[in-house]
Amino acid sequence: MIKQANVMLDKRAVIADIDERIYGSFIEHMGRAVYGGIYEPDHPEADEQGFRKDVLELVKDLQVPIIRYPGGNMVSAYNWEDGVGPKEDRPRRLELAWQVIETNQFGTNEFADFAKKTNSDVMMAINLGTRGIDAARNLVEYCNHPSGSYWSDMRRSHGYEAPHKFKTWCLGNEMDGDWQIGQKTAVEYGRLAAESGKAMRQVDPDIELVTCGSSGSGMPTFPEWEAVTLEHTYDVADYISLHQYFGNRDNDSQNYLASTMELEHFINTVRSVCDYLKAKKRSKKTMMLSFDEWNVWYHSNEADEKLERWQQAPPQLEDRYNMEDALLVGGILITFLKHADRIKMACLAQLVNVIAPIVTENGGGSWKQTIYYPYMHASVFGRGKSLHTVSASPKFDTKDFTDVPHTDSAVVYREEEEEVTIFALNRHTEEDIRVHYALHDFEGYEVEEHITLHHEDLKAGNSLAQENVKPALSKAYTWEGQELQVELKHASWNVIRLKRRT
Ligand code: AHR
């Protein structure tokens, strides 16, 4: 007999208004993300500024609201001044984090132009590895001050009369990691971040600041790092960052698909530490979360070890994603929606070529990986209010997790448009599951479409030549008297869209 799950929801039971920036992404100067990814002046599809038009279109379809830049690990030894001004004067540097040559032919102003073309905001990261307060405040002045000062006038002399007005700034990157140039202890980082943030805000009081949380929940210093750094940065920062990458290293698909349980635990722990600091400091401010690096990252590990050092734009971190990766990405997005009251920004790391939904060939075509689809669905249909769900699903145990629900759903309600979108995952790798959704207060609604992403082979992926994993429409549902019954195919990602008929 087919397994059955139940979900109840009510349009008045709202978790929070979803901040659309949870569908952000990330471009780091590494591998072929910039050079050969978004920027390739010699490509037949390049526009007048060297941006690949095919890539611009693929990014625009994702409706990416914000893009983090320029790193990542790279930012911790980056001199931002190298990447502005006449291109012929820009230095070629040894880029230490990824052991490549950085030509600096692309920099802050080019990225501002790219973001404009994709209708995205920019989340800038500053170097708190080898540099500090001075370089940070100068960069804010260069980017955001209108005119009449040394750095703002330099920007104008570089052809950018109007300030970029970047609002969101990350105070360094993964400063707890021993791989980071200029790694810091929690106290060293907390003090430096607080003082840098203070100076940056004196240049532009309108900016928002993200303080570095741990590089992942597996760090030995997690969550002490959060507790200690926030002692110093709580008053100056608006967000704390979370980073997490996943991989099916043991080829245990059920265990892999259950790893959103770990994510859930990570988010809840960071929330708790922030709230502890809030209480301790008698603060009125609630620290919000910026999950500004997340994705699947493991397919490319072996290949990366074989790469020679000091190449220009080598194929680093070029994971080729499969069906099960798309399912995990869907599960992560569902988890973020359930925490919409605290997660206000999140960045799929990264956007093009480097652990990315979009892949390009140098001089050739571009294509969508499997993970492109759940990310696009969530970004396009997942804006509005995130609703609470009360659910009961059959459960399973894996090597690392117990009581994992086979199905998981998040629900988004767009009040004005009178639309509801259900994102649903069936993690069961063999059995279809019927989910019964009881919707309260949705009279007059009808199902618009049920989109499903499924492939019998969990290891199936896409390539330029062949798109094996792509969404299809399903008719496996009934809708009657505000009761929706949907059959979720085994190992499938689903989007069920309802709209009120007038
Ligand atoms: O996204 C790839 C790398 O992962 C980033 O540079 C770093 O911040 C993280 O460790």
CATH number of the domain to which 283 belongs? 3.20.20.80
Stated as kind and residue range, the H or E segment containing 227 is helix 224-233
Measured CA to CA, the distance from residue 431 to residue 343 in angstroms comes to: 32
Distance CA 130, CA 116 (A): 30
Same domain, 166 and 282: yes
Percent of the chain with pLDDT over 90: 99
What does the pLDDT read at residue 287?
Answer: 98
Q: Which two tokens stand for residue 371?
A: 């993970």
Residues 98 and 193 in one domain: yes
CA max distance for the chain? 74
CA distance 35 to 16: 39
CB-ligand 1 contact for 71 (6 Å cutoff): yes
Q: Please name the residue whose Cα sits nearest to atom 1 of ligand 1.
A: 349
Whether this model's pTM surpasses 0.75: yes
The closest residue, in CA terms, to atom 4 on ligand 1 is 72
User: What integer best gives the mean pLDDT of the chain?
Assistant: 98
Ligand 1 centroid vs 95 CA: distance in angstroms?
14
Q: What is the DSSP string of 182-225?
A: T---HHHHHHHHHHHHHHHHHH-TT-EEEE---S-TTSTTTTHH
DSSP SS3 for 67:
strand
Same domain, 39 and 56: yes
- How many domains does one find in the chain? 2
CA 52 from chain centre, in angstroms, equals 22
CA dist 200 and 141 (Å) reads 8
Using the CB atoms, write b or e for 298-335: b if 16+ within 10 Å.
ebbeeeeeeeeeeeebbbbbbbebbbbbbbbbbbbbbb
Domain extent, residue 450, equals: 3-12+386-500
453 and 468 share one domain = yes
Residues 429 and 302 in one domain: no
Binned at pLDDT 50, 70 and 90, residue 8 comes out as very high
Is 418 an active-site residue?
Answer: no
Of 331, 347, 381, which closes a domain?
A: 381
User: Where does a domain end: 322, 348, 381?
Assistant: 381
Does the CB atom of residue 238 touch ligand 1 within 6 A?
Answer: no
Tens-digit pLDDT profile for residues 170-207: 999 999 999 999 999 999 999 999 999 999 999 999 99
- Tens digits of per-residue pLDDT, 412-431? 999 999 999 999 999 999 99
pLDDT value at 70 more than 90: yes
pLDDT (tens digit, 9 = 90+) per residue, 120-156? 999 999 999 999 999 999 999 999 999 999 999 999 9
For the question of residue 293 being annotated catalytic, the response is: yes
- Residue 292 Cβ inside 6 Å of ligand 1? The answer reads no
**Predicted confidence (pLDDT) per residue in 77-111, tens digit:** 999 999 999 999 999 999 999 999 999 999 999 99
Dist. CA 162–CA 54, nearest whole Å: 28
Residue 241's closest CA among 190, 179, 289? 289
User: Distance, CA 72 to ligand 1 centroid (Å)?
Assistant: 5
**Selection from 396, 370, 485, 406 nearest residue 438 by Cα:** 485
Catalytic residue among 102, 293, 324, 419: 293
Closest CA to 121 of 193, 68, 192: 68
The catalytic position among 174, 226, 324, 487 is: 174
Ligand 1 site, residue 20, Cβ cutoff 6 A:
no
Judge whether residue 1 has pLDDT over 90. Answer: no
349 lines ligand 1 (CB under 6 A): yes
User: Which pLDDT score, from 0 to 100, does residue 209 have?
Assistant: 98
Residue nearest to atom 8 of ligand 1 (CA): 72
Is 343 in the same domain as 428?
A: no
Phi and psi at 386, nearest 5°, equal: -85, 125
Query: Is any ligand 1 atom within 6 A of the Cβ of residue 293?
Result: yes
Task: Please say if the pLDDT value at position 363 is more than 90.
Answer: yes
Rounded to an integer, the average pLDDT of 237-252 is: 98
Q: What is the pLDDT of residue 370?
A: 98
Instruction: Assess whether pLDDT exceeds 90 at residue 51.
Output: yes
**Do residue 318 and residue 440 come from a single domain?**
no
In this prediction, residue 341 carries a pLDDT of 98
Per-residue pLDDT tens digits for 434-476: 999 999 999 999 999 999 999 999 999 999 999 999 999 999 9
Domain co-membership, 405 together with 449: yes
- The CATH number of whichever domain residue 397 belongs to comes to 2.60.40.1180
User: With a 6 A CB cut-off, is 31 part of the ligand 1 pocket?
Assistant: no
* Best probe residue, ligand 1, of 29, 291, 293, 352 (max atoms within 8 Å of C-beta): 293
One domain, residues 68 and 180: yes
Ligand 1 centroid to Cα of residue 177, in Å, is: 10
Does residue 351 sit in the same domain as residue 399?
Answer: no
CB atoms < 10 A from the CB of 496, how many? 26
Cβ of 76 closer than 6 Å to ligand 1, yes or no, is no
CA 486 to chain centre: 29
The closest residue, in CA terms, to atom 9 on ligand 1 is 72
Residues 8 and 115 grouped into a single domain = no
Contact 304, 317 (CB under 8 A): yes
For 130-154, b where at least 16 C-beta lie within 10 A, e where not — what string? ebbbebbbbbbbbbbbeeeeebbeb
Q: How far apart are the first and last CA of the chain?
A: 38
Cβ contact 75:129 at 8 Å: yes
Q: Determine the atom of ligand 1 nearest the C-alpha atom of 317.
A: 2
Residue type (1 letter), 410 = A
Q: Which pLDDT band, with edges at 50, 70 and 90, does 502 fall under?
A: confident
Do 358 and 278 fall into the same domain? Answer: yes
At 347, which helix (H) or strand (E)?
Answer: strand 343-349
pLDDT per residue over 158-169, tens digit each? 999 999 999 999
- Picking from 347, 381, 415, the residue at the C-terminal end of a domain is 381
